[in-house]
């Protein structure tokens, strides 16, 4: 609701992941009056993680077809495959905790450029991302990105920051853990090592940013 979603919009979710956490919210919300596109992973990607999760996602849609029968699945794999929807056709594009993956792969700016092309003038980009401390060195392999870097990529793509929210903030997260964001729950990559410490911190500190295409 912070991003301003309405049930009659054309909405694109970029990289919903194998589990489709936000698909569970967005697809039913948009099913009757709107249009929901998922820019999923490439099932023929060179990376096994992307192949596996592309299949996992489509299997989920098929298993619960009563909810997901109107989901439009495309591929978002910058820089080559970014035409999830026609240029200038989306009212809103959403991406939840994916920017570090694009940056790790060296396609961060290309991804934001592609998102901008999808949006109509006045369209909204909503970004949720694990947040590094301001001014810190960005290491996307750890999952954390500074707000400054996200804003810079969006602005370069022709998008303007209009609002931010602390709804996903966690001030207990120092963002400097040995296995990055995956040290914290739900990943708990260190397993039993300092387990109670990381459970007490909780999930990552996350920025929530709203951009508009002028």
Report the chain's terminal Cα–Cα distance, integer Å: 21
User: Rounded CA gap, 211 and 207, in Å?
Assistant: 13
Confidence of residue 84 (pLDDT cuts 50, 70, 90): confident
Spatial distance between the Cα atoms of 184 and 13, rounded to a whole number of angstroms: 25
pLDDT tens-digit profile of 3-52? Answer: 999 999 999 999 998 899 999 999 999 999 999 999 999 999 999 999 99
Residue 82 is predicted with a pLDDT of 85
Query: Coil, strand or helix: which one is 72?
Result: strand
H/E element, 117: helix 108-118
Q: What is the number of other CB atoms lying within 10 angstroms of the CB of residue 58?
A: 18
pLDDT in tens, 112-142: 999 999 999 999 999 999 999 999 999 999 9
Domains observed in the chain: 10-170+206-213 (3.40.50.150)
pTM score of the predicted model = 0.96
- CA-closest candidate to residue 131, choices 113, 115, 143, 118: 143
Output the CA angle 13-19-149, nearest 5 degrees: 50
């Amino acid at each position: 609701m912070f991003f301003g979603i309405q049930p009659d919009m054309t909405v694109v979710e970029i990289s919903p992941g194998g589990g489709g956490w936000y698909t569970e919210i967005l697809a039913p919300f948009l099913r009757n009056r709107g249009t929901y596109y998922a820019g999923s992973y490439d099932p023929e990607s060179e990376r096994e993680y992307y192949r596996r999760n592309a299949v996992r996602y489509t299997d989920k849609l098929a298993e619960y077809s009563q909810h997901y029968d109107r989901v439009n699945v495309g591929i978002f794999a910058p820089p080559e495959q970014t035409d999830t929807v026609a240029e200038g056709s989306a009212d809103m594009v959403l991406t939840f905790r994916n920017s570090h993956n694009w940056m790790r792969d060296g396609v961060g700016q290309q991804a934001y450029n592609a998102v901008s092309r999808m949006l109509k003038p006045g369209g909204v980009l909503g970004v949720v991302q694990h947040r590094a401390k301001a001014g810190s060195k960005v290491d996307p392999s750890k999952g954390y990105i500074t707000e400054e870097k996200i804003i810079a990529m969006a602005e370069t793509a022709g998008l303007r920051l209009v609002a931010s929210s602390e709804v996903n903030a966690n001030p207990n997260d120092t963002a400097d853990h040995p296995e990055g964001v995956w040290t914290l729950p739900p990943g708990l990559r260190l397993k039993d090592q300092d387990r109670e410490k990381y459970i007490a911190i909780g999930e990552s500190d996350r920025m929530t940013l709203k951009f508009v295409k002028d």
